[in-house]
Amino acid sequence: MAEIPQPPPALPGFASFEAAMDQALAEARSAQSRGEVPVGALLVSDKGVVLAAAHNAPIGASDPTAHAEILAIRRACAAAGNYRLVGAVLVVTLEPCLMCLGAIVQARLAGVVFGAADPKSGALSSCLDGPALPFLNHRFWTVGGVKAEACGALLSDFFRNRRSAAGEEPPCPLDAGRIDRY
């Protein structure tokens, strides 16, 4: 299997990875305002066009697969009329899970830019070195930690507020090294 490709210095159409992450963060805030775990994603084509943007919606959609990454891939594929998004890059505020790793490979994305690492279920580096799995028939690059503090703070605040509303006061999941996303 081919080696894992090196990431480019920036995304086409954006001044920096951070600038793209700002748009994903806006999606994450949208999720938060709907009571969903604040994770946002966008898909950027190799020409720098934003193909789709989405936020987490498993609760509202009654759909455990409605992660921001999956929804963004579905929308971009529907818009493109193609089941693959060759050359496209996923930008997401939280390290993707195992399910989303599968979708990234199926869609043949060129790369993934993520914000906060997910020590509980991150499948790109934290819990699994997903991009290097030997049986995968597609390789993609990753860049992690982009605006990680801002991305992580949204999640920490969300869980803190939810727990205080429930009358509980356990430690923030990020502080405890885990994130209860779902």
List of residues contacting Zn ion (CB under 5 A): 67, 97, 99-100
82: nearest Cα among 118, 111, 43 = 43
Nearer to Zn ion (CB atom), residue 51 or residue 100: 100
Residue type, 129: D
Distance CA 130, CA 134 (A): 9
70: nearest Cα among 101, 30, 48, 49 = 101
Compute φ and ψ for 60, nearest 5 degrees.
-65, -35
Nearer to Zn ion (CB atom), residue 8 or residue 42: 42
CB of 169 to Zn ion, least distance (A): 28
Helices (H), the chain: 17-33, 58-61, 68-80, 98-106, 148-165
Distance CA 146, CA 93 (A): 8
Nearer to Zn ion (CB atom), residue 67 or residue 147: 67
Distance CA 107, CA 86 (A): 7
CB of 179 to Zn ion, least distance (A): 12
Distance CA 22, CA 125 (A): 22
CB of 140 to Zn ion, least distance (A): 15
Which residue in the list 3, 18, 27, 69 is annotated as catalytic?
Answer: 69
CB of 21 to Zn ion, least distance (A): 17
The count of C-alpha atoms lying within 13 angstroms of the C-alpha of 7, restricted to the half-sphere facing its C-beta, is 17
Active site residue 69: yes
Nearer to Zn ion (CB atom), residue 99 or residue 150: 99
What residues are labeled active site?
Answer: 69
